[in-house]
Structure 1
Amino acid sequence: MNDIDTWGFATGRPPAQSPSTQSAARRHEPQRTARAALTRIVEPGDETAGRWLREMGPVALWHALADEDADPPAGARPAKIAGLRLRAARARPAEDLATVASLGGRFLCPGDDEWPGQLDDLGDARPIGLWVRGRANLRLWALRSVAVVGARACTEYGAHLAATLGAGLADRGWTVASGAAYGIDGAAHRGTLAADGATIAVLASGIDHAYPRGHTELIGRIAEQGLVVAELPPGDHPTRSRFIQRNRVIAALTRGTVVVEAELRSGSLVTARRALALGRFTMGMPGPVTSALSAGVHQLLRGEATVVTDADEVIELVGSIGDLAPERRGPALVRDLLDPVAARVLEALPARGAAGATHLAREAGTPHELTHTKLLELQALGFVQRYGDRWELVRRAEGTDRSRRGGA
């Protein structure tokens, strides 16, 4: 028989651990430790492994993968089990837990008070657990959160939109989630931080491994002011598939996803469509029709997404009843306050020259006396002036004159 390890089950190759590591391990319950180990063994979003986890439980699954003599999960392909067992040999969950604790972080499991229940919508693709840095409560912050994602090689227009949107959402008490990447992600995080708002960075690496390297300072600021979250254990690096799987967490964690600039082939569109499949709101901010960086957003808007232009419109969609965006109206003009008859009389006056009251009554379709009364009102308001028995428009600056003539 194999030796029985610290957490109560046999392992084919018990990890060599220092006394301090063993002590740290004893402080964690078996299921939490098993899940921590599995985050180093199983790739994020692996639905087959997720089904095994659901059917067997974390302790039994780790046992099956760590012990070469143990029976593998039912129906598992030998090649897959062989690869997972190679990874299991390097799993040191107690060390990982200690490393994250030294950073002031923690490891969350499904069922914890801080676990965001909306992640369970992913089914067997649900994260095994989440490694978290930051003082805030992830579950509470995620209750009122919006994902802002988009192109890495964004334009100045896109960066401005993302930063402004992040700040606007922060001002309204909403959390902004994104992936801490270059471009739109970084702009959204920075806009939120500048407004002293709440922001969550979901990484495709370990939470102690800043990626991209150029955002090391930004990710550090987010860890201090917000939350940094990852499925991967400390030290793990990102890969192309891990970026894609990271996007499903962003989509599931938030109430809705806003795409700001994205080409026709973009990971941001994957996030948006995953959000839609999960029953979340999907939104896009339009850009120039000539820009390839907005082509993906426009394609999304032609189908499943809703157009939004600012934080108010986003919150109107994802928020509670009564969170309505303000009515959009152009500037109010004095002419807008005229009653319909006065407006018709004003429209009857020629753009150049003067006209008599009889002519104006005929053109406006109003009785002569009523026309005369309305002309006196228009005179008092400064719209018209009288020369003998004829009337003409008051000449003002071109813009003012146009406004009084309805922009004609």
Structure 2
Amino acid sequence: MRRTTVSTFLALAVGGLAWPTSLLETNSIPALAKRDVPMCGPSTGVSCGMNVCCSGSGYCGTTSAHCNSCQSGYGSCAVPTPKKCGKTSGTANGRTVGYYRGASGTGRTCHVVQPSNIDTSKFTHLNYAFAVFDSGFNVVPQDSADVALYTKFTALKSSKLETWIAIGGGGSTTPWSSMVATSANRAKFITSLKAFLVKYGFQGVDLDWEVPLNTADKVGYTSLAKELRASFGTTYKISMAFPVDYGDMFYVDAKGMEPYLDWIGYMSYDIKNPDGTVAGHTDIVKVEDKALPFWFSGIPPAKLNLGLASYGHGYTLASTNCRVANCAATGVSAPGTCIPDPTGVMSLFDIKDIIAAKSLNPALVSAGMYKYIAFNNGQWIGYDDAETVALKKGWANDFCFGGTMQWAIDLGSF
């Protein structure tokens, strides 16, 4: 699953203090002020990541309350107005990227997705997820079963479709910090990566570090992007997966990396309520709010791909009398049948199977642009399908996004 791997507490390197990610994600100064140590400003010497406003009290945020009392020099001092293109502009049709987890998609007995099963007409780019790199910074397959699939995957490329490799991923133990720490280590990685691309016929690389945790990581990651571009020229392309939560963005210099990237994939999913209540994990209202740092940092929207999830998040309701977002939950939902996941994540394949088997009528949450099903006396799953994806593409068009990306093809199709 392509989810951020930062722990509940994200160390922000201010006197060794560790702050809850849930507090970093809030835009409420009163909530942030419960901490007694500022996160930005002259007392810390720290500027706000993504150039959001540093309030007079020393907290990073995107609201007028943060910006009207800002500390100049430690972030922006104004809430930007995002560019709008219109819901029917078609800007998001520029790129359609799909991720494919090869070994996961083929190593099961139901809903098997071989490279030959992928409907390539739906995509302009396919990313194979994932490769990793070892302690010597040599790029290697994540799973030995991937090797036999690489050339089958890259054989799908055509004049209308490119095939790339994604490096890293959520939960990966890949030693990113060590690799980006020195120019020599980065050079070893780049040399190995180029050989890997040539060997298997990949046309680009998607960098998926989840997530940089300090200033050294931030500087090193930016240097990596610059040096990759210098080495690749126009022969190979480069993209970066980008987290949805501000706490995970803090040490990513998106603006500094952007000139060297062909695009940025915005992982606009896996959004949860801090209190564990029911939430549609792709709720577009929350996605829009969490996208604000892009506008603060000046990222061209044409370089952004909106993330689309072909899986849902499920809960066990505390009461069957409350079946909507923000209702209380006692825990996650039961796992799916074909692709079981004990964390409440359910593939679109399994969701569709449940809907068909139980003759369910999914409910559309119009404002959030997602659907949910409630069944079995308390099971609740929020997810997207073709209808809600069309709505989300309209949103992406309106905000001038240059494309979309789907995680993941082997979990279901829209």
Q: Larger relative contact order (C-alpha < 8 A, sep ≥ 6)?
A: 2
TM-score by length of 1: 0.26
TM-score by length of 2: 0.25
| Bigger fraction of residues in helix | 1
Larger Rg: 1
